[in-house]
Amino acid sequence: MAIAPRERFAQNLVVARRASGLTQDELANRCKLHRTEISLLERAGREPRLGTLVKLAGSLGVSVESLAAGVRWDEKAQKFKYRR
């Protein structure tokens, strides 16, 4: 079953935040975002903007690519592809 890119991003974000030992509040403070924004992103309720993605990666000490891991665009098929 395929998942939306924001769902895969949400999974990656939760894993990265937990690995860093941060709460949603702590991450929000580091990123200068509201905790509800972190919650929405982690529940796949919203796709992050590029600036938010960079803030999250920097605050978690991970790469932007790691937060998007497992998602790629298949240009021939004109759809997203996922790796587990």
At the second CATH level, the architecture of 5-82 is Orthogonal Bundle (1.10)
Confidence of residue 39 (pLDDT cuts 50, 70, 90): very high
pLDDT digits (tens, 9 = 90+) for 5-27: 999 999 999 999 999 999 999 99
Rounded to whole angstroms, how far apart are CA atoms 6 and 25? 21
Q: Sketch the domain layout of the chain as residue ranges.
A: 5-82
Work out the percent of the chain whose per-residue pLDDT is above 70.
Answer: 95
Supply 47's token pair. 């796709």
Supply 17's token pair. 């935040």
> Is the per-residue pLDDT at 1 higher than 70?
no
